[in-house]
Amino acid sequence: MTLLDIRDLKVAYGRRTVVHGVSFTVGPGEVVAVVGESGSGKTTTANAVLGLHPASSGQILLNGADIRGWSQKRLQAIRGAQIGLVPQDPSNSLNPVMRIGNQIAETLRIHKRGDKAARRRRVIELLTRVGLDDPERRAGQYPHELSGGMRQRVLIAAAIALRPSLIIADEPTSALDVTVQRRILDLIDDLRQEYGTAVLLVTHDLGVAADRSDRLVVMKDGLVEERGDTRTILAAPSAAYTRQLFRDAPALNARNFRPLDERAEPAIVVRDLVKDFGAFRAVDGVSFEVRRGGTHALVGESGSGKTTTARIVTRFTEADSGEVVIGAPVGPRDFRRKVQLVYQNPYGSLDPRQPVGTIVAEPLRNFGLGDRAARRTRVRELLERVALPEALLERRPRELSGGQRQRVAIARALAVEPEVVVLDEAVSALDVTVQARILELLEELQRDLGLTYLFISHDLAVVRQISHTVSVMNKGRIVESGTTQQIFDSPQDDYTRELLAAVPEPVR
């Protein structure tokens, strides 16, 4: 028996077709993961099922009835009742000026389920079911009063309010820490087993898809490259694109640990850092060293203090006490040449009004390095160094892909020949293949230029691949430090073990 049957689905934006004849099925109680990079058409396909974007042609059969082309009024009757949606970003999906309980009750009200008192009881029941503590209090709170994981649980509560037969989960954990991600995925799995609900899981995280799905649908450029049983595809992918995705995914391809040169002198020495924000201690006695030419990772969940520590190291934030030593003492201006920072979001850190050539040359102008001709030559060298074509010199950031923008940010950081580069979640917003190329580039630059990296990340699979040493942070403190191999193979702290246990481990 088939619950959802998508046949030869085509979707267009204006005159441009973006989904080209996609077909797959979802059975009752089954988890089907649709995977692929940005622009592959996976979210557009899911939106077409919900009628949020009209399909050009094909069929969308729900329990045998073709719902493609239904009016919004008819579709409204099945949204929530037969198909529930868990969207990607709870911050943007919840009404910031509406209480949590009222937002969940809205689904019940629209479908005329019970009077006000009955809806209130159902809301409390749902908040309890998704594991929120003190549900009476939570129902009266606003979204900003909840953590990201709590907000995502609220969206799940709304999605299951009417016990739909299908839940579409669109990147439901992409913005969450690894331990919170595991709890959310466990919750969805529990609900699936309890209610027999099927799940259409849309994700770019191949580790999650491999760990949690029964079947995979691999999409690229609006086409299905491969579909079938998850274990079968993991063991022997038939499409070249699928094989490349699997090779590039750190969660599916644990490499040998990077050896540490014990003879190298420390390039960064951090001693007893403390930073308070009012009554909140964000960094509490943090100490570590980074060997010259090596990569040290700071890992931990949101609020662990890792980014605040990085901002202290780069002198964008001043510590209340403690010290950071990076080579011989220098003034603020020379320090900016010695230490560079690459942010998570290259689009936000690049001036949208300036062309690439001007952006990369900016540090050279700021430090008065070279005349105009020398700077032009240096910019071309830098673009070549990060494998970007010279043709991009006159383009603006909006005309580049995410991976190209991050390469521009790296080129700009290298312009003044720094000794240390701090990378704050520098690959977390990138697709898996783009991420893999950036990580390869970082390793190559380190080899060729002798760079020292401080790598801030919540993605332990990436940390395993890129780092020589690791410090694990929790609530402002370092709970464990060591070589990457020591941390991953023999974790000593309970919190470290919890983090590692939450990393998806697909069975092949």
For residue 368, with 0-12 CB atoms within 10 Å meaning exposed, 13-18 middle and 19 or more buried, which class applies? exposed
Percent of the chain with pLDDT over 90: 77
Q: 424 and 318, same structural domain?
A: yes
Of 197, 213, 248, the last residue of a domain is 248
Count how many Cα atoms sit within 13 Å of the Cα of residue 342 in the half-sphere of its side chain. Answer: 29
User: Which bin fits 486, alpha (ψ -120 to 50), beta or left (φ > 0)?
Assistant: alpha
Q: What per-residue confidence (pLDDT) applies to 392? A: 93
Tell me the pLDDT tens digit for each residue of 46-74: 999 999 989 999 999 999 999 999 999 99
What does pLDDT average to over the chain?
A: 92
Q: What per-residue confidence (pLDDT) applies to 38? A: 84
345 has pLDDT over 80: no
Q: 317 and 220, same structural domain?
A: no
Q: Determine contact, residues 454/423, Cβ cutoff 8 Å.
A: yes
More confident residue, 278 or 429: 278
Of 248, 278, 309, the last residue of a domain is 248
Please report whether residue 152 resides in a domain: yes
156-160, 222-226, 334-338, 350-354: range with highest mean pLDDT: 222-226
> Distance between CA 118 and CA 111 in Å, rounded?
13
Please report whether residue 368 resides in a domain: yes
Q: 496 and 478, same structural domain?
A: yes
Tell me the pLDDT tens digit for each residue of 446-461: 999 999 999 999 889 9
The string of DSSP codes covering 200-255 is EEEES-HHHHHHH-SEEEEEETTEEEEEEEHHHHHHS--SHHHHHHHHH-TTT-PP
Q: 99 and 131, same structural domain?
A: yes
Three-state SS sequence of 398-449 = HHCCHHHHHHHHHHHHHCCCCCEEEEECCCCCCCHHHHHHHHHHHHHHHHHH
Q: 291 and 386, same structural domain?
A: no
User: Cα dist. 302→278, 454, 457 in Å?
Assistant: 19, 17, 10
Please report whether residue 508 resides in a domain: yes
> Distance between CA 423 and CA 420 in Å, rounded?
10
Q: What phi, psi does 99 have (nearest 5°)?
A: -65, 150
> Distance between CA 47 and CA 424 in Å, rounded?
32
β-bridge pairing 420-424 and 339-342:
parallel
Please report whether residue 49 resides in a domain: no
Q: 92 and 221, same structural domain?
A: yes
Q: Determine contact, residues 308/368, Cβ cutoff 8 Å.
A: no
Please report whether residue 135 resides in a domain: yes
Q: What is the dihedral of CA 239, 443, 358, 370, to 10 degrees?
A: -150
Q: 177 and 214, same structural domain?
A: yes
> Distance between CA 326 and CA 462 in Å, rounded?
25
Q: 463 and 396, same structural domain?
A: no
Domain limits for position 488: 256-327+419-508
507 has pLDDT over 70: no
Tell me the pLDDT tens digit for each residue of 363-391: 999 999 999 999 999 999 999 999 899 99
402 has pLDDT over 90: no
Neighbours of 315 (CB within 10 A): 15
238 has pLDDT over 90: yes
Please report whether residue 358 resides in a domain: yes
For residue 385, with 0-12 CB atoms within 10 Å meaning exposed, 13-18 middle and 19 or more buried, which class applies? middle
Single-letter amino acid, residue 36: G
Q: 263 and 135, same structural domain?
A: no
Please report whether residue 60 resides in a domain: no
Q: 127 and 235, same structural domain?
A: yes
Q: Determine contact, residues 136/124, Cβ cutoff 8 Å.
A: yes
Q: What per-residue confidence (pLDDT) applies to 209? A: 94
Q: Determine contact, residues 283/308, Cβ cutoff 8 Å.
A: yes
Query: Which helix (H) or strand (E) segment is 390 a member of?
Result: none
The stretch 127-151 carries a mean pLDDT of: 92
The number of domains in the chain is 3
Neighbours of 96 (CB within 10 A): 9
Please report whether residue 187 resides in a domain: yes
Q: Where are the alpha helices (DSSP H) in 262-331?
A: 306-313
Q: 315 and 411, same structural domain?
A: no
Q: What per-residue confidence (pLDDT) applies to 98? A: 95
> Which CATH number fits the domain that encloses residue 496?
3.40.50.300
Q: What per-residue confidence (pLDDT) applies to 506? A: 63
The stretch 188-192 carries a mean pLDDT of: 89
pTM over 0.85: yes
Q: What per-residue confidence (pLDDT) applies to 89? A: 75
Diameter over CA atoms, the chain: 75
Length of the chain: 508
Q: 126 and 264, same structural domain?
A: no
